[in-house]
């Protein structure tokens, strides 16, 4: 496989500098990188898991609202970013690996390269402060 575009590589290097969980996906939503702070969300590390297909990682979170109703995929920020190539933000709940609901905020943005081409997306997880 060919190398990733430098805009993707530089986003990975940036993610490696941050203490907040960061995902990087390709244009189809496949998880191509996540940084170390993400390990506690996924319960694995990038070194162990490598890349993950969208169908593999997207079922790990069980996103829901405050009443426990599932949040449909099309309302999740990263899915909206991938579909519309625009940034989004949303606060919702996910079920942690321990089976406990945790309130999180997620900000996602598209990676639009130097020539204007859509290359992928970045999702940043925040401990919810109702941003």
Partner 1 sequence: MGIKGLMKISIKGVRGSIPISGPETSLYGGNTSCVTVVEDGWILVLDGGTGIQRVTLPDSSIKRIDILLTHLHFDHLQGLGFFAPLFDPSKEVHIWAPASATQDLRTRISRYLSPPLFPVLIRDLPCQLSWHEISRSYFEIGPFNITSRSVIHPGPTLGYRIRHKKAVFTYIPDHEPALGPSGLLLDKKWLSGFDLISDADVLIHDGQYTATEYQEKIGWGHSSMEDAIKLAEFAGVKRLLLTHHDPARTDSELTELHEKLIHSLGNGMEFEFAKEGMEIDLGRDI
Residue 9 interacts with partner 1 (CB under 8 A): yes or no: yes
Tokens of 95: 């079920």
Sign of CA dihedral 116, 85, 109, 47: negative
Report, in Å, the least distance between residue 14 CB and partner 1: 7
Whether 105 and 88 have beta carbons less than 8 Å apart is answered as no
Sign of CA dihedral 82, 91, 95, 39: positive
Cα angle 75, 89, 81; round to 5: 60
State how beta strands 88-95 and 31-34 pair.
unpaired
Report, in Å, the least distance between residue 49 CB and partner 1: 15
Report, in Å, the least distance between residue 17 CB and partner 1: 5
Tell me, residue by residue from 11 to 50, as one string, x for binding to partner 1 by CB under 8 A and - for no binding: -xxx-xx---------------------------------
Among residues 2 and 100, whose Cβ is nearest to partner 1? 2
- For the CA atoms of the chain, what is the radius of gyration? 14
Report, in Å, the least distance between residue 50 CB and partner 1: 10
Using CB atoms within 10 Å of the CB of residue 71, give its burial: 0 to 12 exposed, 13 to 18 middle, 19+ buried: middle
Tell me, residue by residue from 99 to 118, as one string, x for binding to partner 1 by CB under 8 A and - for no binding: --------------xxxx--
Among residues 24 and 94, whose Cβ is nearest to partner 1? 24
Residues forming contacts to partner 1 in the complex (CB under 8 A) are 1-7, 9-10, 12-14, 16-17, 113-116
């Amino acid at each position: 496989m060919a190398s990733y575009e430098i805009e993707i590589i530089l986003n990975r290097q940036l993610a490696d500098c941050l203490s907040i969980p960061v995902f990087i996906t390709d244009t189809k939503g496949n998880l191509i990188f996540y940084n170390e702070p993400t390990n506690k969300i996924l319960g694995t590390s990038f070194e162990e898991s490598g890349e993950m297909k969208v169908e593999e990682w997207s079922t790990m979170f069980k996103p829901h609202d405050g009443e426990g109703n599932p949040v449909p995929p099309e309302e999740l920020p990263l899915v909206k970013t991938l579909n519309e190539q625009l940034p989004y933000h949303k606060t919702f709940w996910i079920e942690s690996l321990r089976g406990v609901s945790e309130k999180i905020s997620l900000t996602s943005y598209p990676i639009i390269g130097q020539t204007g081409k859509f290359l992928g997306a970045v999702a940043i997880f925040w401990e919810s402060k109702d941003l």
